[in-house]
A and B are shown apart, each in its own frame.
Chain A
Amino acid sequence: MHTNTYTADFTNLDAIRDFVGGFAQQAGLNSKEIYAVQLAADEACSNVIEHAYEGIVNGTFDVSCAALPGQVTILIRDHGKPFNIEKVRQPNLGKNLDEREIGGLGVFLMHKLMDEVHFESKPKEGNVLTMIKRKSGGA
Chain B
Amino acid sequence: MEITTKEFKHCDVVSVNGRVDSSTSPQLAQALDKLTDDGHHNLVVDMTKLEYMSSAGFRALLAAQRNCKKFNRGEIVLCAVPERIKEALELAGFTELFKVFDDSLTAVGSF
Contacts and interface: CB of A to CB of B under 8 A. Distances in A.
Closest 8 pairs between A and B when the two form their complex, measured CB to CB: A93-B93, A10-B23, A105-B55, A10-B22, A46-B22, A35-B84, A106-B55, A13-B21
A39 interface: yes
Per DSSP, chain A at the interface is helix
Interface string A38-57: 11001100100110000000
Interface in B31-80: 52, 54-56, 58-59, 62-63, 65-66, 69
Given A13-B21, A39-B88, A105-B59, 18 more contacts: A10-B21, A14-B19, A31-B84, A32-B87, A35-B52, A38-B52, A43-B55, A46-B22, A50-B22, A93-B93, A94-B93, A100-B62, A102-B59, A102-B62, A102-B63, A105-B92, A109-B88, A113-B91
B50 to A, nearest CB: 13
Interface residues of A, number: 27
14 contacts: A10-B22, A13-B21, A14-B19, A42-B21, A42-B22, A42-B54, A46-B21, A46-B55, A93-B92, A94-B93, A97-B65, A98-B66, A109-B92, A112-B91
Interface residues of B, number: 22
Given A97-B65, A97-B66, A105-B59, A43 B54 contact: yes
Interface of A: 10-11, 13-14, 17, 31-32, 35, 38-39, 42-43, 46, 49-50, 93-94, 97-98, 100, 102, 105-106, 108-109, 112-113
B54 A106 contact: yes
Given A11-B23, A97-B69, A97-B97, A109 B55 contact: yes
A108 B92 CA distance: 8
